[in-house]
Structure 1
Amino acid sequence: MTRRIDALDVLRGVAIMGTLGTNIWIFTDPAGPAGFLGIGRDMGVVETFLRFLSNGKFLGLLTLLFGVGLELQYRSAVRKGLAWPGRYLWRATLLLAEGALHFVLIFEFDVLMGYAITSVIVAYLIGRSDRVVRTWMVTVGALHLTLVSLLTVALLAADDSTPRTPVDTLYTDGSWPQQVAARLHQVALYRAELIFIVPMGIVLFLLGSRLLRAGLFDERGARLRRRLTALGLGVAAPVNLVISYSGPAWFAVERYVLAPLVALGLLGLITSIVLGMDGAPGMIRRGVTNVGRTALSCYVFQNLAASILCYGWGLGLAAGLDWLRPWWVPVAWAGICLLFMTLTALWLRRFERGPLESAWQWAYRAPWAKRASVH
């Protein structure tokens, strides 16, 4: 059991730092989200490759791990004889509130809101028979592929001669309140990704649950891990690389179809490496594990740190170092990761959970604690 928990913590840490590997391209672009989506400029060969390394892959890995976590919550409820989904719906509500605050105050492309919606749907499916789960996965997966295909066809049919959108200076010259107002004003645009996140999430949540049941994280799963690694890294990754150089019209295929398959390869490979390790963990593994143990805090605060580093109301490095793009971007990512590996190590010396995890745990228990005090 201990080794399984260790593997999950390492995977969460990798996933959290990997999502920053995608998000950092948004923060470091002077045009903000518009620049990240390729509006108004062409990316070079190097930047395209660097973005390929992270785009969607760690989102997929994190989504799979949320499914594993949901399965563990379900098992705990069954073991304790509690009604399901029962209190889990309150957990999902708190996650939705957390994501909404993160979206409004810090980051346009928050994923926690999508995970909250997905978790409510999957909570009613996770205890059903394998046949029901497979039916849902196939049906929702087909819907997801249809949506991705429709968007891709629309983008391919778009007129490339359309004038480019003027560069947005909100992220270089605008204040923090102005950015908050822009997120609220354009909430439909920035939350449109949920159209893809929720169906993809349903499939990956259920898949993560079933992979845990299949023994992925223990000795039984050696063959399964090898198959996932071969599929994700041996087959999907090369196709993903080709697609990433095929133009922005293929963005949805890369991020929402191929990247989740690569994530399965990462899941298999990293789990095999962790389970195969002997002896005390080294400095890097301890750092990644600490990030995994404080995943929610690191996810939110690393985006805040990147905002302070890059935006005009902070240090303004996105505009100041744009002449060094793309070379300085991986350095910024590594610096933020190193910072949070250090901070989490210091924090966990004194506290069992991360700061947001502690606040979240208090909020989760509060309704039942009040009832108990009344009685």
Structure 2
Amino acid sequence: MNLARIAANERIAQLDVLRGLAILLILYMNIQYMGDFSNPEYFPNRVSWNGFDQAAWWVNRLLDGTQRGLLELLFGAGVLIMARHAMTPDGPVAVADLHMRRNMWLMVFGIAHGVVFLWEGDILFAYGTAALLIFPFRRLRSRWLLGLGIAVNLGLLAPSMIEYRERAALATAATAAGDRLAGGERLGDADKAVLAKWGAAQAEARGIDPAIIKAEKARMKGPFAAYAAARIKAWVSVEFTEVGIYWENVIEAFGTMMIGMALFKWGIIQGRASRATFVLLLVAGYGIGLALRVPATVAQLRFDALPDIGMVTFGLARLPITLGHIGGVTLALSTGLGKIMLRPFEANGRLPLSTYMGASAAAVVLFGWPFLGLFGKLGFGQLFALATAIIVSQIIIANLWLKLFATGPLEWLWKSLSYAAPQPLRTGTEPLS
């Protein structure tokens, strides 16, 4: 069966705008890891901490995870778009075959993102995995997709809840041991162990160990081969070993893709629901999300190990804020001014792979040695300014590119591999999904 491809007149502009915003603005979340030392979101004051740095840090904290959320919702919607022929008698096998190839190749791009483009925070490998798992769920009713998706996202909070309880228990035990010590009691081994553990937790919360910074600086400022090796090692660590966020990302993406499918079936993510629906998403999404996240962000400013409920509510806020984005963008696109302002992002929504991996390539040039070698030299605000310059450049390049070409270079390669045949690249041919 020759699967019909999505033509230009079939594209949904709102989906491209949402995808473009998400894939561009995710750089604001990533650039700290690309250009600074370990865990910069927790220790943003290492280089400088002026008003610009603090404003940038607040933007980072309030929007954290919501670009991923948008991409995951859109990915779920995209599965339904790609599977539109699966209801025909000979369609399911052909669609499933394409779906499998498409997402297995996406996983290959994810590996390349880590070992060639040197970005340890890649999401493509996890998204490809989640997409392979999500396909059989596409025929569930919308309310089931929504309910299961929410349940999966809530389940992801379990580790944070456990950490909160453990931290609270440690703080209580450390306070009691400290009181006994202050009262002149002789502490036993258990109390000494508690105080040592609490002291280590406080030291970790108040800043990065100078020895860690020195070692990381030596790796990042050495020959490019050493820089590349350090980045690849970091990719393995972040994704699979010490940090190991791969399966967490897969589960998060899987749950949020199901919600994206539900929103697509209801016509919400395409902007086809009532205006009242999008007003509700905007007001309730941002209202609930910010009410959960702002106190959690304020608590982080203490830079101490004391437990706070924000350890749980920070992650809980991700999905409501993401839905608020959908409401806000949809309402903006319903106005003439909004269309003018958001139209440039549509091009990057059509070139998401090239945009995403292109930003990582730019980071290698900016931060890698012996290129510009800016790693570890810029404050939070300066990194945000640099991200803004990259984003603006990518918007201009993407819009100019699409005047000559029907799809991006990496998108062309991905689609050619997925369809097992070279696909059209120049304008004048039918652009693919």
TM-score band, normalised by shorter chain: 0.7 to 0.9
C-alpha spacing 1:238/1:103, structure 2 compared with 1 (3 Å): same
Q: Give the match for residue 174 of structure 1.
A: 222
Selected match of 2:32 from 25, 41, 60: 25
Q: Give the match for residue 70 of structure 1.
A: 79
**Structure 1 residue 25 displacement after superposition:** 1.8
CA shift digits 1:91-131 (9 cap, x unpaired): 11011110111012220000111111111111111123456
| Overall identity of the aligned pairs, in % | 22
**Structure 1 residue 255 displacement after superposition:** 6.1
Gaps spanning 5+ residues in structure 2: where? Answer: 1-7, 171-196, 424-433
Q: Give the match for residue 241 of structure 1.
A: 294
Selected match of 1:277 from 314, 335, 338: 335
CA shift digits 1:321-364 (9 cap, x unpaired): x3xx2332222111101111111122111110011000111111
Q: Aligned pair 1:89/2:96, yes or no?
A: no
Matches for 1:138-149 after TM superposition, within 5 Å: 139-149=151-161
Give, as a single letter, the amino acid of the residue that structure 2 aligns with 1:333: A
Structure-1-length-normalised TM-score: 0.85
Q: Aligned pair 1:229/2:282, yes or no?
A: yes
Give the whole-Å Cα distance in 2 for the aligned partners of 1:310 and 1:180. Answer: 11
C-alpha spacing 1:20/1:138, structure 2 compared with 1 (3 Å): closer
Task: Say which is worse superposed, 344-353 or 156-165, in terms of deviation.
Answer: 156-165
Q: Aligned pair 1:263/2:322, yes or no?
A: yes
**Structure 1 residue 41 displacement after superposition:** 4.8
Secondary structure of 2:137 counterpart: coil
**Structure 1 residue 148 displacement after superposition:** 3.2
C-alpha spacing 1:138/1:55, structure 2 compared with 1 (3 Å): closer
Q: Aligned pair 1:110/2:122, yes or no?
A: yes
CA shift digits 1:185-237 (9 cap, x unpaired): 45553111223222221221011111111121244342322222122212212
Give, as a single letter, the amino acid of the residue that structure 1 aligns with 2:299: S
Count of residue correspondences:
362
Secondary structure of 1:353 counterpart: coil
Judge conservation of contact 1:143–1:199 (CA < 8 Å) in 2.
no
**Structure 1 residue 69 displacement after superposition:** 1.1
Q: Give the match for residue 361 of structure 2.
A: 304
Q: Give the match for residue 35 of structure 1.
A: 40
Secondary structure of 1:78 counterpart: coil
Q: Give the match for residue 111 of structure 2.
A: 100
Gaps spanning 5+ residues in structure 1: where? Answer: 370-375
**Structure 1 residue 51 displacement after superposition:** 1.8
Give the whole-Å Cα distance in 2 for the aligned partners of 1:57 and 1:252. Answer: 17
Task: Say which is worse superposed, 105-114 or 82-91, in terms of deviation.
Answer: 82-91
Task: Say which is worse superposed, 234-243 or 106-115, in terms of deviation.
Answer: 234-243
Judge conservation of contact 1:244–1:254 (CA < 8 Å) in 2.
no
Give, as a single letter, the amino acid of the residue that structure 1 aligns with 2:120: E
Give the whole-Å Cα distance in 1 for the aligned partners of 2:108 and 2:286. Answer: 35
Q: Give the match for residue 333 of structure 1.
A: 387
Give the whole-Å Cα distance in 2 for the aligned partners of 1:21 and 1:8. Answer: 21
Matches for 1:124-163 after TM superposition, within 5 Å: 124-130=136-142, 133=145, 136-137=148-149, 139-153=151-165, 157=170, 159=198, 160-162=201-203
Q: Give the match for residue 11 of structure 1.
A: 18
**Structure 1 residue 137 displacement after superposition:** 2.9
Secondary structure of 1:77 counterpart: coil
Give the structure with the larger helix fraction: 1
Give, as a single letter, the amino acid of the residue that structure 2 aligns with 1:351: F
Selected match of 2:371 from 301, 314, 321: 314
Q: Give the match for residue 372 of structure 1.
A: none
Judge conservation of contact 2:292–2:313 (CA < 8 Å) in 1.
no
Q: Give the match for residue 49 of structure 1.
A: 58
Q: Give the match for residue 264 of structure 2.
A: 212
Task: Say which is worse superposed, 11-20 or 249-258, in terms of deviation.
Answer: 249-258
Structure-2-length-normalised TM-score: 0.74
CA shift digits 1:275-301 (9 cap, x unpaired): x1349953x433211111111100000
**Structure 1 residue 37 displacement after superposition:** 5.0
Give the whole-Å Cα distance in 2 for the aligned partners of 1:273 and 1:304. Answer: 32
